[in-house]
C-alpha cells in the first residue's frame, strides 16, 4: 500500500485522494475536539486518548512498519516538542473557554500561518482566486468566534484568556502542520512516520492525566474515561493520519485550508451533543467557511 500511495504523489489521482483525506480529517478532527472538551476534564480526556494511542502505536512502530532512517530521529524530536506544546496550550484553552468559541479561533489562526509556512518551506503559492477563498473562509471562522464571544453566556469571565490561548494554539497548529508535512515527506515509507508519530506523541499526557486524576477530590470512574480514550485514539489516527497523508500527496496549504471545514462540523457537534446554541447567523457564518474551502479547491 505504501508503494501505491507514493506512486500517487503529484498526480491528479493523488490530488483527488488528498481532497478526500483532508475533508475526512476535518470531520474527524471536530469529533476529536468534542471528545476532549465534552464530559470529562480535558486533561483527563487527552491522557486517556494518548494512553490508547500508545497501546496501538507502540507495537506497530516497533515491529510492523520499516524502521526509521537515521535522519528521521531529529525530526521525531521536533514532533515531540511541538505537539507537546500544542496539546498543553489546547488543554488550557479548553479548560477556560466554551468549545464553540475556542475551536474556531484555533482552527482559523492555524491555516493562515500554515499557508505562509508552506510558501517558505515548500515554495507553494496560491492563485489570486484561492486567496479570495482563504479570506472568505477566515471571515467565516473569525466571524463565528466573534459572534460566540458576544452572545455566549457560559464562562464569560475566562473567555479573554481562553481566546489568547486559542490564538497561541492556532500558531502551533500551523507549526505542526508544516513540520509534520516535512517529516512525512522525509521518509521513504509514510506509514513509518505515522506509526512513530503516534508512538512518540503519546508518551507525555498519560502521566499528566494520571497525576491529575490522583489529586482530584472527586475523580471520575476509569471505565467511561478509558472508553472515551479508545474512541478518541481511533478518531485521532483517522484525523491526523488523513491530514498528514494529504500533505504528502498534495499541497500543504490546500490541505490545511480544507481541514478547517472542521469548524462547521464542530459547530454542529456543539449544538447537537454539547447543547450549545446555534442560530441562523452562525449557520450563515458556517456557510462562509464551507464556501471559502470550495473556492480554494476549485481555483487550485
Burial class, 1, CB count within 10 angstroms (exposed 0-12 / middle 13-18 / buried 19+): exposed
Residue 300: its pLDDT value, please?
67
CA-based torsion, 138, 143, 144, 146: positive or negative? positive
The pLDDT profile of the chain, 300 residues, written as one tens digit per residue, is 788 888 898 899 999 999 899 989 988 988 877 776 556 677 898 899 999 999 999 999 999 999 999 999 999 999 999 999 998 998 888 777 776 677 777 877 787 778 888 888 889 888 889 889 888 888 887 887 777 777 766 556 677 788 888 889 989 988 999 999 999 999 999 999 999 999 999 999 999 999 999 999 888 889 989 998 999 999 999 999 999 999 999 989 888 888 878 777 877 777 777 666 666 777 777 778 778 877 887 886
Do the beta carbons of residue 267 and residue 286 sit within 8 Å?
yes
**Burial of 150 (C-beta count, 10 Å sphere; 0-12/13-18/19+):** exposed
Measured distance CA(137)–CA(115) in Å, rounded? 13
For residues 193 and 66, the answer to whether their CB atoms sit within 8 Å is: no
The pTM score is: 0.86
* Cβ neighbours around 3 below 10 Å, total: 8
pLDDT at residue 284 in the model: 79
Rounded to 10 deg, the angle between the 72-96 and 99-122 helix axes is: 150
Amino acid at each position: 500500500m505504501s508503494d501505491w500511495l507514493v506512486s500517487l504523489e503529484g498526480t491528479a489521482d493523488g490530488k483527488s485522494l488528498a481532497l478526500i483525506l483532508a475533508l475526512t480529517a476535518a470531520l474527524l478532527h471536530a469529533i476529536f475536539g468534542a471528545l476532549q472538551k465534552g464530559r470529562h476534564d480535558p486533561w483527563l480526556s487527552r491522557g486517556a486518548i494518548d494512553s490508547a494511542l500508545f497501546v496501538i502505536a507502540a507495537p506497530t512502530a516497533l515491529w510492523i512498519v520499516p524502521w526509521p532512517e537515521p535522519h528521521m530521529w531529529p525530526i521525531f524530536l521536533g514532533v515531540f516538542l511541538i505537539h507537546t506544546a500544542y496539546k498543553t496550550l489546547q488543554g488550557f484553552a479548553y479548560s477556560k473557554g466554551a468549545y464553540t468559541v475556542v475551536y474556531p479561533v484555533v482552527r482559523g489562526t492555524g491555516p493562515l500561518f500554515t499557508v505562509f509556512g508552506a510558501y517558505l518551506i515548500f515554495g507553494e503559492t496560491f492563485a489570486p482566486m484561492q486567496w479570495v477563498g482563504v479570506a472568505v473562509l477566515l471571515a467565516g471562522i473569525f466571524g463565528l468566534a466573534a459572534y460566540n464571544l458576544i452572545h455566549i453566556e457560559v464562562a464569560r469571565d475566562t473567555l479573554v484568556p481562553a481566546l489568547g490561548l486559542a490564538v497561541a494554539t492556532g500558531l502551533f497548529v500551523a507549526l505542526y502542520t508544516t513540520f509534520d508535512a516535512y517529516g512525512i515527506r522525509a521518509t521513504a515509507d509514510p506509514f513509518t512516520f505515522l506509526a512513530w508519530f503516534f508512538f512518540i506523541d503519546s508518551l507525555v499526557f498519560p502521566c499528566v492525566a494520571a497525576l491529575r486524576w490522583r489529586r482530584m477530590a472527586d475523580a471520575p470512574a476509569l471505565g467511561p474515561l478509558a472508553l472515551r480514550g479508545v474512541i478518541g485514539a481511533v478518531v485521532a489516527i483517522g484525523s491526523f493520519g488523513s491530514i498528514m497523508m494529504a500533505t504528502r500527496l498534495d499541497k500543504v496549504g490546500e490541505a490545511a485550508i480544507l481541514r478547517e471545514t472542521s469548524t462547521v462540523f464542530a459547530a454542529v457537534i456543539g449544538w447537537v451533543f454539547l447543547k450549545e446554541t446555534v442560530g441562523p447567523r452562525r449557520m450563515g457564518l458556517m456557510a462562509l467557511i464551507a464556501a471559502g474551502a470550495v473556492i480554494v479547491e476549485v481555483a487550485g
